[in-house]
C-alpha cells in the first residue's frame, strides 16, 4: 500500500533587487578622426548628428556625446591650443534642460577629477579619463541609489558598494557595470547572500541565509537559480542535501523530513517515489507531494 509522506517546501527565492536597477552608465563611444586645420562647425547651437568636438561660447572646442537638439556649450576655464584644458566648469544646455561638469579637462575632454550633474538629477564625483568615469568615484542617482567604488570606461568595474533606496546593499566585485565575481548582497528583511555572481545574478558557489534564521542554503547557483549540488538546512533540524535543478530536488539526494523519515535516492522535478514512500522538495507554489507521480 502506498503511504503518503508530507514533503518540504522552500520559501521562494528573492530577486537581487525589489525594483528596477539604476540607469546604466553611458555606453562607450569612439572619437572620430579630425584632420588638422579643420574649421569648427559654424553654429554652436546646432544639434550634433554624432559625438564629436563642438565650440563653446568662446570658440573653445569641447567633446560632446549628447545628441539632444538645440545644444550650446559654455566653458569657464583655460583654452590652450583652442581646446578646453585645465580646471573649469562646462555647461551643456539643450532643449529641456542642462547639465554641468566642474573639474579637470584635457584636450576638450573630461580628464582628471570632477563632478558631473545630469539634467535628470544624477550626480557623479570622481575620476575621469577620456571623457568617461574612471578610477574611484561616487555616483548618486536621483532615486536615492548610490555606488561608491571603482569605474572603467564609464561603468562600475572592480570593487565597489551599491545601495538602493529599498534597503538592498551589494558589496563586492563588478565587471562592465554588473555584479560579477565575489560579493555579498543583503536585503531589508535581513536575508543575505555571500558568494559568486555573474551578470547581476547569483552564479557559482554561495551561501544564502534567510533573515528569520529558519533556513540556510549552501551550494551552487546557475543564472540565479539553485542548480547543482547543495544543502538546505532548517532551524528545526530537517534538511535536503543533493542535486537540484532550478531549486527543485533533481538527481541523487537525501532529505530528512519533518516526519523524521529519511528519503534517499533519485529525485525528479522535486519528487521522490521509491514505490513505498513519496516526498517533495522545491520552491513554494511549484508543486507538492500530492502532484508527484
Q: To which H or E segment does residue 31 belong?
A: none
- From the list 34, 51, 35, 96, the residue with the least C-alpha distance to 69 is 96
pTM (2 d.p.): 0.80
Residues with Cβ within 8 Å of residue 260, at least 6 apart in sequence: none
Q: Which residue has the cell 557595470?
A: 177
**With left for phi above 0 and alpha for psi between -120 and 50, is residue 42 left, alpha or beta?**
alpha
Residue 25 grid cell = 552608465
Residue 38 grid cell = 579643420
> What is the torsion angle, in degrees rounded to the nearest 10, for the CA atoms of residue 63, residue 27, residue 165 and residue 207?
-140
Residues with Cβ within 8 Å of residue 264, at least 6 apart in sequence: 253, 254, 255
- From the list 293, 290, 246, the residue with the least C-alpha distance to 7 is 290
**DSSP-based three-state secondary structure for 40:** coil
Check if the beta carbon of residue 281 is closer than 8 Å to that of residue 266. no
pLDDT in the model for residue 39: 36
Check if the beta carbon of residue 233 is closer than 8 Å to that of residue 239. yes
Task: Give 247: exposed, middle or buried? Use CB within 10 Å, 0-12, 13-18, 19+.
Answer: buried
pLDDT in the model for residue 19: 37
- pLDDT by residue for the chain (293 residues), tens only, comes to 222 233 333 333 222 333 335 434 433 333 333 333 333 344 444 544 478 999 999 999 999 887 676 789 999 999 999 999 999 999 999 887 999 999 999 999 999 999 999 999 999 999 999 999 999 999 999 999 999 999 999 999 999 999 999 999 999 999 999 999 999 999 999 999 999 999 999 999 999 999 999 999 999 999 999 999 999 999 999 999 999 999 999 999 999 999 999 999 999 999 999 999 999 999 988 999 999 99
For residue 116, CA distances in Å to 50, 75, 239 come to 21, 14, 52
Separation CA 168–CA 189 (nearest Å): 9
pLDDT in the model for residue 94: 87
Q: Which residues pair with 279 in a beta bridge?
A: 272
pLDDT in the model for residue 70: 73
Distance of CA 203 to the CA centre of its chain: 13
pLDDT in the model for residue 12: 33
pLDDT in the model for residue 69: 67
Separation CA 52–CA 58 (nearest Å): 17
Q: Which residue has the cell 508543486?
A: 287
Around Cβ 4, how many Cβ atoms within 10 Å?
11
For residue 267, what is the DSSP state? E
Measured in degrees and rounded to the nearest 5, phi and psi for residue 164 equal: -120, 155
Check if the beta carbon of residue 251 is closer than 8 Å to that of residue 266. yes
Contacts 24+ apart (CB under 8 A), 236-241: 238/8, 240/8, 240/281
Amino acid at each position: 500500500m502506498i503511504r503518503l509522506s508530507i514533503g518540504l517546501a522552500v520559501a521562494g527565492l528573492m530577486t537581487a533587487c525589489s525594483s528596477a536597477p539604476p540607469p546604466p552608465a553611458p555606453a562607450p563611444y569612439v572619437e572620430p578622426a579630425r584632420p588638422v586645420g579643420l574649421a569648427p562647425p559654424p553654429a554652436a547651437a546646432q544639434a550634433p548628428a554624432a559625438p564629436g568636438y563642438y565650440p563653446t561660447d568662446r570658440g573653445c572646442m569641447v567633446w560632446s556625446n549628447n545628441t539632444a537638439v538645440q545644444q550650446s556649450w559654455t566653458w569657464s576655464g583655460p583654452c590652450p591650443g583652442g581646446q578646453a584644458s585645465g580646471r573649469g566648469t562646462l555647461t551643456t544646455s539643450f532643449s529641456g534642460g542642462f547639465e554641468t561638469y566642474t573639474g579637470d579637462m584635457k584636450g576638450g575632454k573630461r580628464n582628471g577629477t570632477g563632478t558631473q550633474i545630469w539634467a535628470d538629477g544624477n550626480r557623479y564625483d570622481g575620476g575621469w579619463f577620456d571623457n568617461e568615469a574612471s578610477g574611484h568615484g561616487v555616483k548618486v542617482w536621483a532615486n536615492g541609489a548610490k555606488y561608491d567604488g571603482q569605474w572603467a570606461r564609464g561603468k562600475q568595474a572592480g570593487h565597489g558598494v551599491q545601495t538602493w533606496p529599498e534597503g538592498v546593499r551589494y558589496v563586492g566585485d563588478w565587471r562592465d557595470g554588473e555584479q560579477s565575481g565575489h560579493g555579498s548582497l543583503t536585503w531589508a528583511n535581513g536575508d543575505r547572500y555571500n558568494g559568486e555572481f555573474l551578470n547581476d545574478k547569483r552564479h557559482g558557489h554561495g551561501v544564502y541565509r534567510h533573515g528569520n534564521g529558519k533556513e540556510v542554503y549552501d551550494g551552487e547557483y546557475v543564472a540565479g537559480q539553485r542548480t547543482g549540488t547543495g544543502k538546505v538546512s532548517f532551524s528545526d533540524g530537517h534538511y535536503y542535501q543533493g542535486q537540484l535543478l532550478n531549486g527543485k530536488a533533481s538527481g541523487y539526494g537525501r532529505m530528512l523530513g519533518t516526519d523524521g523519515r529519511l528519503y534517499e535516492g533519485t529525485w525528479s522535478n522535486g519528487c521522490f517515489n521509491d514505490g513505498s514512500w513519496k516526498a517533495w522538495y522545491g520552491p513554494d507554489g511549484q508543486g507538492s507531494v500530492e502532484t508527484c507521480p
